[in-house]
Amino acid sequence: MNRPILAFATALACTGASGLALADNSNTALPVPYHYGMPLHVKQVISMTEPSTQECKVVTAQMTFIDNQGKQEDISYQKLSDACSYQN
C-alpha cells in the first residue's frame, strides 16, 4: 500500500523538478532584430559578438547592453564581418 503512494510521490516530484528546469528560460531569449531608426537608449555596452569567418561577407552580430532604465537588452544586427577589415 505504501509502494504506490511512494511511486506517485516520486513521479510528481520528478515532474515538478523538470517543470522548474524548463521554466527558467531568461538566458535563452532571442535578441530583438534591429531595424533602421529603432531607439536604443544605451547606457552601458556589456558585449558585442559576431560569428568568426575568414571571408568578407555580411554576418548577424549581437549586442548586449544596459538601457537607461537599467534593463538588460539584446539586439541583433547585420554588419560586414571583421575579415573585411583585413582584406585588400
CATH of the domain at 72: 2.30.140.50
Q: How many domains does the chain have?
A: 1
Its domain, for residue 67, covers: 27-85
Res 81: pLDDT: 93
Distances (CA, A) of 12 to 5, 6, 23: 10, 10, 16
The reply to whether 62 falls in a domain is yes
Q: How far apart are CA 70 and CA 65, in angstroms?
A: 9
pLDDT band at 86 (very low <50, low <70, confident <90, very high): confident
Q: How far apart are CA 15 and CA 63, in angstroms?
A: 36
pLDDT in tens, 11-28: 656 555 555 444 544 556
pLDDT of 79 higher than 70: yes
As a whole number, mean pLDDT of residues 24-45 equals 83
Res 88: pLDDT: 60
The reply to whether 39 falls in a domain is yes
The reply to whether 59 falls in a domain is yes
The reply to whether 36 falls in a domain is yes
pLDDT of 72 higher than 90: yes
